[in-house]
Structure 1
Amino acid sequence: QFVVAPYSLFVAAATLVALAPVLFSGHYIVYAPLRFALARALPAWAQPTVAIDSTFIAAFLLIDQAVCAACLFATPGTRSVPAASARRVAQSVVFGFLNCKTYFLVLLLLLAHAGVRLELAPLLVDGVCGLSRRVCDAVARRTMHWAPLFYHQHRMAHMPHVYEHAHKFHHYLHDTTAFDAHIYGSGAPEEFFVLMLDLLPALLLGIPPASLSPHVLYNSWTNKVGHTRKEDGRGGRNAHADHHTRHNRNFGIYYMATDMLLGTCTDNDAFEMGGHTVTRHPPFDAAGDGDGVSVRLHFEPIEGRGAPAGKFNF
């Protein structure tokens, strides 16, 4: 791959840098000590395992496709099915599988060949208590938030020439459905280093892939909702779907503050986000007011949308 599409090496490495601290770190920090503690605290019957075999792989892929179908047909507020023609949905099912689901196919087949078994107790406790998520949030607060990390990685993946070698695969089809949603919002040529991070700890240390952890699975399945166009686009619900029709806009997926600051939002002047109306104030406005240097975002709560009271600037 890197010989045929050399820029994909950069994009794949940047994808790992952007996602590892805020999506994977919690799982790899939490799992080993949690497994150690549970192995000593629980009786053997309370420590079930499941083999990664052909049945597991088939069930996993079928559930994943079922979630995609649910987003298309049953998600409240989505466009009606006729708006996405049967031909377009079929294209998403086929190409989306080749571009997105083959990640899991490769990963799970390799784990099955190695005889890896999933220990369910640590994954269940992690999911119920939200341990990985809490650690990821702490890492994000103390290092760099996911939003600017992903924004810059995503925007670089859209650069001329670079785009052709990797991220273009994710945008091969115009617009988007849940079937086009990858666990990490990427295309097949962007997966190599993330795949290695999933695979090597499982093979060498017995730590299951982060992509099978509750925290990452939750993000994976909610990402399918983000790739589903809604009838009611208020509140930024179609922010990422709009990126799939205007590829040089909305690089931040759902969080548009960075896009507004840097002028790449579909509506840089005002945007609804997180229960707020966000307005952008450039260094100088039409009246000549401003400091001439800073771009300021003003957040004002929308009544009835559940946002915290009070206005603030960013």
Structure 2
Amino acid sequence: MRFIATVFILLLLFTTTAMAGHGEPKGPAQKAIVLTAFGTSYPEALQSILNIKTKVEKANPQIPVRLAFTSNIIRAIWQERQGDAAWQKAHPEVPREVLYVKTPLATIADLQNDGYRDITVQSLHVFAGEEFHDTQVMVSSLRSIRTLKAKFAPFERLALGRPALGLPGDELPYTDDIAAAVKALKVDVAEARKQDAALVYMGHGNDFFSTGIYAEFQKALQQEYGWPVFVGCVEGYPAFDDMAADLKTAGKKNVLMKPFMVVAGDHANNDMAGDEDDSWKVMLTKQGYAVKTQLRGLGCVDAWADLYVSHLRDAMTRTAQ
């Protein structure tokens, strides 16, 4: 009997090993999360992204969370720093995962190679512009991969979470996302009130996609709080001149200006708060306003970071977004 039992166990181990060697599924697909952001090269601005990541990890304690940057320029800067020991020594606060950050595609591939077949990609973009579009196309393309035998498909489930201001469609109306985003910035409006200042946000925008959603967001902010709040874009509509024309009608002499971007990186430091003649701070000052700028990314606002946690939760229940 002991001999028979030994033979049975050996046969069972052999069968299990053989199945594993042929790529047979070993039970429920392992889950993973990828947070994909435009990125930043400013070490001090990383806290915005890392704050969101920390919140996502707390909400999903058993699931690995990875970062990915969509900007080729930003990733190239971090790649150069990988070989700069002096820079790394001067910036010990930068985590290794940022120093070696990859594209969303490479990050997903690494996870799949490590056995994760149930992956949710959460966009950390503000609205569905160029960077989100390309991420959406990539995820859709990966999801469309078909193998001769379904069990050998690279992914069991691959989903994409919508950006902060949502997506078109009736299942998850973007107007609800705008309303949630408006409430998330209540603290900014309260700060502007204390200073008797108009609140101005600088968004990135895009020249290839309609940025009318910024105008919708501005209207929703004004209706919710009854205070002069204006949004302008570096690219697209409403541009600086559009914002400045609206600001003039508010009758405020003080302006509190903040980036309407996840991180306070290059645009915030230079285009918004810089000392060059074409910075928004300088141009508004020349128009007679007393301007105060605040270099704080949206990711540092806990209520805004929670928007992405909520959108991720929605995406994890769906196969497509």
Scaled by the length of structure 2, what TM-score is found? 0.24
* Structure with the greater alpha carbon radius of gyration: 2
Task: Please state which structure has a larger fraction of its residues in helix.
Answer: 1
Scaled by the length of structure 1, what TM-score is found? 0.25
